[in-house]
Chain A
Amino acid sequence: MLDRLGPAAWAKVERETNTGPADLISLCVYDDSKTIALISASATHLGLPVEEALRVFGRYWVRFAELSSFGPIMDFTGQDLVTFINNLDRMHRSVVLAMPDARVPSFTLMEETRKRLLVRYRSDRTGLETFVIGLLEGLMDRLNETGSVEVAGRAGNTIDFAIHLDRD
């Protein structure tokens, strides 16, 4: 929001969602309802449907993390898609040591071929499906891959995402 529409628009979103300057601090866990409220308000300002805004936000999040001081942790997690996804759970387990209230998801690489990866996502949080698609797209951007992400199946609190890679 800040990058696209500037500080004035973000200030409006903060007012609309009753978000104060101390509410969004790195390494502080805040409620999902706050995240959704912020994204909904931002979506309105960006002229996007909420689902699309979630996807854009997920994709942007990876870029933001990589450019911020969290970049080294991203590098440590992996420099290729398979390694990164395989190491995500270990990285998340370490994050929980610093943020005990964080509800981190789990990612398991179920199938791997040269042109397709099947990733199983487990989370007790709901409504973040398009956000995860954005995150996986963001990861592809970061790791110099192109392709597409789609939902391949759902069961309970797990969703399978198929990553189709544009590889020869």
Chain B
Amino acid sequence: MQPAVTIRESQLGALFRAYIKVDAELVVIAVGPFFLSRETEVVPGAQLTELFSLRYDREDGQAPPMEAAIPAMADTPERLELFCKSKNIRLAGIVFSADDGFLLALNIVPEDFIIEGQGLHISDFSQIDASVPALTLIGMQRALLAEARQAAIDLANAQSEALELLDRTQRLGSYIVHDLTNYLSIIRLNVANLARSGGSADASRSAIEAATRHVSDLVLSLERLTGHRNVEATPIPVDETIRSNLAFLAAALPADFTLDFIGGTAGAAVRVGRTELVHMLTNVIVHARGAMPDGGSITISTYRSNEGPEGHSKTSQGEWTVIKVIHDRRGIDDEAVRLMLDPQALARPDGAEFALRSMRTWARSTGGDVKISSLPAGTEICIHLPISDEVGGAEPVLVTTAGLAKPQTARTARVLVVEDEIHALDAMIEILRREGYAATPAANAAQAIEALADDDFDILLTDVVMPERSGVELAHEVEARHPRIGIILMSGYLPDESLLRPHWRMLRKPLDISLLSQTLAATHAKLAV
């Protein structure tokens, strides 16, 4: 009788990847591609009963030997399951009788629906085997879960970093408020002194100018912090910086104090902001002032040391600069010192410990540290800063208004000054008039437009950030109507450059009066040409 279907070896392999042909004695005659593609013991000549154990679908639990089971299952729909004795491989299928024995039409049954570790490939399964999409889908699901788990961890880390950043920003904000308050206090103290002296106290004038310069630098630090500017601190010489700011530091103290400085670092430079160093020392001095109601003496000394702060290894060369501040009144006990520097302890923004803790945060950010010790009579504050190899630049020379070049103009220039801060507007009008300009005030853009309708002006000097209409919008409108007018903008921040005309001049706030003077003169001179 002719077989109903003729099937080729290759087709057999495509349908039953793990087929096995055996003779009547169950000796292997031929095997499918699953065995051919890997090294196994299932090769022609091998005895099937030695390689596999048997299980088939019967409910009585009595498994007959393979030699009897396979002939009995031939050409029936009964499912044959073979278990490899040496490897974790399971095969399943049905049995056909053949001329020379039996064809076991088998496929791989995955031991587990997890891809990893089974050593199986897609091509181990027949084209119609549902195991492939099942295994792939489970693999994708597992990958997705792993990714979701990682995303959750990343999110938790990001949240923790954001909270820490927020905490640091809040602390930093408090420190800045505290430092600004100190500078304001210095300015107020010296303004009072200046008023009493009838304007002849040069030291107070210098102190006020230095304080405003430091506040300005503080703003620069804030800009750096908020990403408005990317400025890296250049190394500064420690002794020179302290010496040149000594008068300013002394201005924070009433008359019954003495402040001495002994510099011994022999030109060592540290990579910190000049202003940061000065205002940290200011904080220490203001703190000392609070501890000495009856006055006293404060000494700042500097020296090089091989010994770093606690937790740093000793070095062979003097790689640390130590700034020591000692005052001779009322010592503080160790517990108070510990609480002063403990970041977990609560600190009032107006309390002395607040200033010292901000100093330690700053010192640590530079790679150094701060230590406070109580002396038998007084307190010692030791600031360790790592010495930078590079040499810092020269201390800037304080420019006084007396040294500024007066504007050289052919005739009195008419300047329209627009500023919404009324005190700043008044001060600027007064300064410009003193310098010989015909200055007209306007408190906003609308007033400026009105003034321009009534009078002619040579220069528009306008603030940028103002309510209702900005200085940039005003400048565009004014220039459209009065093309010959000179435009000078003033701002604490650089406005969007795409909105500015290249020939406009820009002054940075807080204003440097000499620069304002020079800019006005240059603008007027250009108009005259």
A residues neighboring B (CB under 8 Å): 26-27, 68-70, 72-73, 75-79, 83, 86-87, 90-91, 93-95, 97-98
Contact = CB atoms under 8 A, between A and B. Distances in A.
B137 interface: yes
Nearest to B121: A78
Contact of A68 (B132, B136, B147): B147
Contact of A90 (B132, B141, B142): B132
A73 B121 contact: no
B122 A77 contact: yes
B120 A76 contact: yes
B140 A83 contact: no
B477 to A, nearest CB: 32
B35 to A, nearest CB: 16
A68 B371 CA distance: 48
14 contacts: A26-B147, A68-B147, A69-B143, A73-B139, A73-B143, A75-B115, A76-B115, A77-B122, A83-B121, A87-B123, A91-B136, A93-B133, A94-B132, A97-B136
B135 interface: yes
A26 B147 CA distance: 8
Nearest to A99: B140
B123 A73 contact: no
Contacts of B132: 90, 94
A38 B127 CA distance: 37
Per DSSP, chain A at the interface is helix
B144 A26 contact: yes
Interface residues of B, number: 20
Contacts of A70: 139-140, 143
Contacts of A77: 121-122
A98 B121 contact: no
Contacts of A98: 136-137, 140-141
Contacts of A90: 122, 127, 132
B137 A69 contact: no
A61 to B, nearest CB: 15
A54 B140 CA distance: 25
B99 interface: no
Given A70-B140, A73-B139, A79-B121, 6 more contacts: A72-B116, A75-B116, A94-B133, A94-B137, A97-B133, A98-B140
Nearest to B133: A94
Contacts of B115: 72-73, 75-76
A83 to B, nearest CB: 6
A78 B120 CA distance: 9
Contacts of B127: 90
A27 B140 contact: yes
Contact of B137 (A75, A78, A83, A97): A97
Contact of B143 (A26, A87, A94, A97): A26
Given A27-B140, A73-B140, A76-B139, A87 B147 contact: no
Given A73-B115, A94-B136, A83 B123 contact: yes
A112 to B, nearest CB: 14
A93 B133 CA distance: 8
Contacts of A93: 133
Nearest to B155: A21
Contact of B123 (A27, A75, A78): A78
B398 interface: no
A142 to B, nearest CB: 15
A69 B136 contact: no
A63 to B, nearest CB: 16
